[in-house]
Chains A and B, each alone.
Chain A
Amino acid sequence: MTAWLNIVVQGVLVGGLYAMFAAGLSLIFGVMRLVNIAHGDLIVLAAYLALVATETLGVNPLVSLIVVVPLMALIGYALQRGVLNRTLGPDLLPPLLVTFGLSVIIQNGLLELFTADSRKLQAGAIEVDSIQVAGISVGTLPLIQFAVAVAVIAALQFMFYRTATGRAFRATSDDQAVAQLVGLDNRHVFALAMAVSLAVVAIAGVFLAVRANFDPAIGPARLIFGFEAVIIGGLGSMWGTLAGGIILGVAQAIGAEIDPGWQLLAGHLAFLAILAVRPEGLLPKVQA
């Protein structure tokens, strides 16, 4: 019994990471109906930026967030203003194909610069620390990661419903033309949304890099995890993405316990089952 409880707890904690993958994806879809196929590769890019930051500055990976988060936000703003804004319109193809091209560029660019070797960030003693709760040993780092994920979701929720920027996001989400009529510059609003999305990506990327090995090719799988969390949770609901991430994490943990080869498959099957039974997700918010 304790063994299974342990598995579920570990799954929940990993789910926090998946929720962070999902939150950025969900945010930009909500604001501008854009699905960023390069999302997973941007997570990996953030991990490599953190690697460079820790190696050149000699700081702890968690401290490197101070550099990586603003840098990724800046990249997001520039990417949206320079490239992605031109792809938005009634046609679905341009944004999909341009972000797909971007994904290939990031993967192969990283491969050129850092080779295919897998890397990992060293966070020191905190990596192996753990605390005992009700007979279960819970790692300090996964716990911090989960707490950060909850904080990120709460912050996004607050920003979306309580700040002027959030109001601008919701306005452009509802009606782009009217938002422009009342004086919002959509190009700027979209770029801000992408900046916020990539700031979240940066946090997720650093935690991913501390938790496990990474190499330039793992991006697409992170995109898929994030996407599954979004759909399981329900489109447009921030707390839903957290629930979706947790369900995915638990499904993978249980799958891995049955047979190591079943870890990823179990997650995908959970996603497909939700899609079959409840396609609108657990906590739906917007009609896409």
Chain B
Amino acid sequence: MSAARVEHATPASRVGVVLCGLALAVLAAAPLWGDRQDLRLLAEIYAYVALASLWNLLAGYAGLVSVGQQAYVGLGAYLLFGLTMLAGIHPLLAIPLAGLIGAMVALPVAALIFRLRGHYFAIGTWVIAEVFRLIASQVSALGGGSGISLPIAIVTSIGASRQEREFIIYWLALAILVAVLVAIFTLLRSRYGLALTAIRDNELAARSNGIDVTRVKLIVYLVTALGTSMMGALIFLQKLRVSPDTAFSVNDWTAFVIFITVIGGIGRIEGPLIGTIVFFALRQTLADLGSLYLLMLGAVAIVVMLKAPKGIWGFVVDRFGWQLLPLERRLTGAS
């Protein structure tokens, strides 16, 4: 009789890891094979995969359903503009700084809104986002309510030629996405990941097994704020213009992100990836419909939530038992 061992990898996940590596290599070489439009679209896709993965970690694993993540996208965006324009910091340094300050701001915010339980937490996050938006529109040094563009001098400090800047921003988007995914993956593989899975499945049972639920949730909230603020800074470095309404848009940075995660499969690391592919495929074909397109997205999300609450990837897992990344723990060798 051999000793029982805990294994993460399955044959499917081994294939998955190889596929991820290949995909990363192809995507990193995109400036060689893609044109300007391709790079822009891909960078936007990376931003949504990252935002959705972070929201998935927050809502799907830690049970902290936030409808106010636009607070951190907008905060990151305004920090980028503030740090570069008012403090004279290089934009590429301003992005990680925006993430760190975002996480620092998240600490007192969490102290307040963690007092709200369950459903009311969700609306509390929305209030925070509104407060951030209203404060941003009071900052006249950054354009107040009408917003401001990034000065040419700061833009050219990233790279001299337009092509050089586009390549740098593209690689930066990919790098932040990979960093976010690696961080989430590492977190989920660590003992915090085990605690999170336990909390996701049954919070009371997790608590009675000695897990400090509040502490774990706080860590997840801070990590999410860090990643979301960094991504917010990068998104608006690409846009070159910020305004309170675009930076704190609930549609762009929360509604879409929630739909992506729900449709792809909430509570699974692969869900946001699948969801983003579906979302962009729909958008490329139906975006001309404008508000009707949003209406349909809302309806699809409701139907998925009612009929297949685990989303597309949840269905695949139930049917085929696949996992793209070695995250699950399986007991082997016991006989």
Contact = CB atoms under 8 A, between A and B. Distances in A.
Contacts of A100: 67, 255, 258, 301
A220 B130 CA distance: 10
Which of the listed residues B118, B123, B127, B294 has the most CB atoms from chain A within 10 Å of its own CB?
Answer: B123
Contacts of A97: 65, 258, 262, 301-302, 305
Chain B, interface SS category: helix
Interface in A214-232: 220-221, 223-224, 227-228, 231
A224 B123 contact: yes
A95 B123 CA distance: 13
Contact of A94 (B131, B299, B309): B309
B115 A101 contact: no
Contact of A224 (B127, B137, B291): B127
A104 interface: yes
A246 B18 CA distance: 61
A66 interface: no
A231 B127 CA distance: 12
Contacts of B130: 221, 224, 264, 268
Interface stretch (A9-17, A31-39, A56-64, A176-184): A31-39
B25 interface: no
24 contacts: A29-B119, A35-B119, A87-B306, A92-B118, A93-B305, A93-B309, A94-B305, A94-B306, A96-B122, A97-B258, A97-B262, A97-B305, A101-B259, A101-B301, A102-B302, A104-B255, A105-B299, A108-B292, A109-B295, A223-B126, A262-B138, A265-B131, A272-B112, A275-B115
Interface of A: 29, 33-35, 37, 83, 86-87, 92-98, 100-105, 107-109, 111-112, 220-221, 223-224, 227-228, 231, 261-262, 264-265, 268-269, 271-272, 275-276, 279, 288
B122 A104 contact: no
Given A87-B305, A228-B127, A272-B127, A105 B120 contact: no
B310 to A, nearest CB: 11
A126 B71 CA distance: 41
B180 to A, nearest CB: 22
A37 B67 contact: yes
A83 B298 CA distance: 14
A228 B306 CA distance: 29
Contacts of B59: 93
Given A108-B291, A108-B292, A223-B123, 11 more contacts: A29-B119, A35-B120, A35-B123, A97-B305, A101-B298, A105-B295, A223-B126, A231-B120, A261-B134, A268-B134, A288-B120
Interface residues of B, number: 43
Nearest to A259: B138
Contacts of A288: 117-118, 120
B63 interface: yes
Contacts of B79: none
Contact of B135 (A34, A92, A228, A265): A265
Contacts of B138: 261-262, 265
A268 B305 contact: no
B250 interface: yes
A105 B134 contact: no
Interface of B: 59, 63, 65, 67, 112-113, 115-120, 122-124, 126-127, 130-131, 134-135, 137-138, 145, 250-251, 255, 258-259, 262, 266, 291-292, 294-295, 297-299, 301-302, 305-306, 309
Contact of A92 (B67, B119, B259): B119
Contacts of A95: 119
B298 A37 contact: no
A24 B209 CA distance: 39
A280 to B, nearest CB: 9
Contacts of B299: 101, 105
Nearest to A116: B291
Contacts of B298: 101-105, 108
B175 to A, nearest CB: 31
Contacts of B116: 231, 275, 279
B135 A275 contact: no
A104 B134 CA distance: 22
Contact of B115 (A109, A224, A279): A279
